[in-house]
Chain A
Amino acid sequence: MVNLGGIRKEVSIELVPQAQVGDYVIVHVGHAIGMIDPDEAERTLALFGEMSAMAATESAA
């Protein structure tokens, strides 16, 4: 059972046997095909953020 923004749908997790309740998965045609690594997601967002910090410094300069 996955929950996306309040929508609940049953999907198969046969392809991600390691998935635990509470994990974030990527769903494709009714199957979870991969997991989302929360640390990596934060890192990617921080990378976008870093860029904005850089841009801000530049525009201030």
Chain B
Amino acid sequence: MKYIDEFRDGDVARRIADRLATEARADRQYSFMEFCGGHTHAISRYGVSELLPANVRMIHGPGCPVCVLPIGRVDMAIRLALEHDVIVCTYGDTMRVPASDSLSLTKAKARGGDIRMVYSAADALTVARDNPERQVVFFAIGFETTTPPTALAILRAQREGLKNFSVLCCHVLTPSAITHILESPEVRQYGTVPIDGFIGPAHVSIVIGAAPYEHFAEEYRKPVVIAGFEPLDVMQAILMLVRQVNEGRAHVENEFTRAVDRDGNLAAQQKVSEVFELRPSFEWRGLGEVPYSALKIRPAFAEFDAERRFDVGYTPVADNKACECGAILRGVKKPTDCKIFGTVCTPENPIGSCMVSSEGACAAHYAYGRFKDIPVKVSA
């Protein structure tokens, strides 16, 4: 696979690892947050952290779309399916997010809800066309990457005059979440949680470009390196971050130049701003209310807004008290610091949001990294 295999070469990885070992100063610790779930997944699946020097630590950020989806929002989708007899379409990952009353979309489906997994927003439109007598709601989640396809679906529904299609919009914005983390008291108070820099998102940056990160680099003096989702991209980005830290720089650098430029995908941005506007505030699972961190459907497209079409108000629901997801998402705690990690909270029975998707910090550690917590004897 061109542009994929070359970026997974183990020999090159070892050479970058050697470089890192040479350049990372032994007299200090380096903590970098990879914001995006895609990077968390790459780091876990390829065993990237095994190749890092002991004093370079990766903190898994909140950039996993299903992890930050609050319980109350999933409850809305479940109510639409069970009480309003609506066909709810959503992305696969969303099906397993735990909601109120021990339900999830998967479990609501088992109780008779017509809930369908789709691969693309366009597939939800097809479901609407094929079922003209039923209302179809696309439960739209995700960051700036999944937003443009949702915008296209709404625009097309309008063009076709579809009367039975609407969107439950839960799209969220990356830059506001990063700001929120940087503003959190633990991170601001120097020394409590050192985040020395960020690996910037891959696919999100293709859409929004590199420019939106310039503000943090400058304002918070944190270097950002935008990286592709392949493991060599991640290794290289970590090396670039180490160099910035060593040289006392805090710039936005771009390792993913093959797909990301400063301005991003203007065609996609134009579609998004045509259909969506900012929400003054939105609740993130684990982070709480974050100002201007999400999108809603513009009044001009009100008929395609499931929140207006159906009587389903949003009720916030608190996470399980024992759950440390909030602190873990902000990088304050590690999954293993949580009392219920791996005991009560497992991928089969996720309590907190970080255990839901394989991109979540806890699920990634549980599925791929647990052996590091326990000394394991490997016989020859």
Q: Do A and B come from one complex?
A: yes
In the complex, whether B148 has a CB less than 8 A from a CB of chain A is yes
Known: A28-B146, A40-B257. A54 touches B19 (CB 8 A): yes
Q: Does B190 contact A (CB under 8 A)?
A: no
Tell me if A's interface is mostly helix, strand, loop or mixed. Answer: mixed
Count of A interface residues, CB-CB < 8 Å: 32
A38 to B259 CA separation, bound complex (whole angstroms):
9
Whether A12 and B152, one on each chain, are in contact in the complex, defined by CB atoms closer than 8 angstroms, is yes
| B236 at the binding interface (Cβ < 8 Å) | yes
CB contact between B149 and one of A5, A12, A36, A55 (< 8 Å): that residue: A12
Q: Using known A-B contacts A36-B3, A52-B12, determine if residue A26 contacts B259 with beta carbons closer than 8 Å.
A: yes
Q: How far is the CA of A28 from the CA of B37 in the complex (A)?
A: 14
Residues of B within 8 A of A54 (CB): 19
Bound CA–CA A12/B337 (angstroms) = 43
Q: Which residue of A lies closest to B12 (CB)?
A: A48
A34 touches B259 (CB 8 A): yes
Nearest chain B CB to A37's CB is how many angstroms away?
A: 5
Set B3, B119, B146, B207: member contacting A34, Cβ < 8 A: B207
Tell me the residues in window 34-58 of chain A with beta carbons closer than 8 Å to chain B beta carbons: 34-38, 40-41, 43-45, 47-49, 51-52, 54-55, 58
Nearest CB in chain B to that of A30: its residue = B120
Q: How many Å lie between the Cα of A51 and that of B1 in the bound state?
A: 23
Q: Provide the bound-state CA to CA distance between A29 and B1, in Å.
A: 19
In the complex, what distance in Å separates the CA atom of A55 from the CA atom of B239?
14
* Chain A residues whose C-beta falls within 8 Å of the C-beta of B6 in the assembled complex: 45
Closest approach, in angstroms, between the C-beta of A45 and any C-beta of chain B? 6
Once A12-B122, A26-B203, A47-B236 are accepted as A-B contacts, the answer to whether A55 and B148 lie under 8 Å apart by CB is: no
Scan B135-152; emit 1 where CB is below 8 A from any A CB, else 0.
Answer: 000000010011011001
Nearest CB to that of B203 among chain A residues? A28
CB-CB under 8 A from A51, the residues of chain B are 15-16, 19, 239
Report whether B265 and A34 are in contact in the complex, using a CB–CB cutoff of 8 Å. Answer: yes
Chain A residues whose CB sits within 8 angstroms of the CB of B148 once the complex forms = 15, 31, 33
| Pair A24/B203 contact, Cβ less than 8 Å | no
Determine the chain A residues whose CB is within 8 A of the CB of B258 once the complex forms.
36-38, 40-41, 43-44
- Kindly identify which residue among A29, A35, A40, A49 contacts B120, using a CB–CB cutoff of 8 Å: A29
From B12, B18, B122, B233, give the contact of A30 (CB < 8 A): B122
Q: How far is the CB of B154 from chain A (nearest CB, A)?
A: 13
Q: How far is the CA of A31 from the CA of B236 in the complex (A)?
A: 27
**Minimum Cβ distance to chain B for residue A6 (Å):** 9
Whether a CB of chain A sits under 8 angstroms from the CB of B66 is no
CB distance from A3 to the nearest CB of B (A): 10
Which chain A residue has the least Cβ–Cβ distance from B145? A28
Shortest CB-to-CB span from A14 to chain B, Å, is 6
Nearest CB on B from A56, distance (A):
8
Q: Which residues of A contact B142 (CB under 8 A)?
A: 29
A5 CA / B2 CA spacing, docked (Å): 8
Residue interface mask B1-33, A partner, CB < 8 A = 1: 111001101011001101100100000000000
Instruction: Judge whether B75 is part of the interface by a CB distance below 8 angstroms.
Output: no
Chain A residues with CB under 8 A of B268: 15, 33
User: A residues engaging B (CB < 8 A)?
Assistant: 4-5, 12, 14-17, 24, 26, 28-31, 33-38, 40-41, 43-45, 47-49, 51-52, 54-55, 58
Question: What 12 new A-B contacts, CB under 8 Å, besides A29-B121, A48-B232, A52-B11?
Answer: A15-B271, A26-B259, A28-B149, A29-B91, A29-B120, A30-B149, A31-B152, A36-B3, A40-B258, A44-B236, A44-B257, A44-B258
26 contacts between A and B (CB under 8 A): A12-B149, A15-B149, A15-B152, A15-B271, A16-B265, A16-B267, A24-B2, A28-B145, A29-B120, A29-B145, A30-B121, A31-B152, A33-B265, A34-B203, A34-B206, A34-B265, A36-B258, A37-B258, A44-B255, A44-B258, A45-B7, A48-B15, A48-B16, A51-B16, A51-B19, A52-B11
Closest 3 CB pairs of A and B: A30-B120, A34-B206, A41-B258
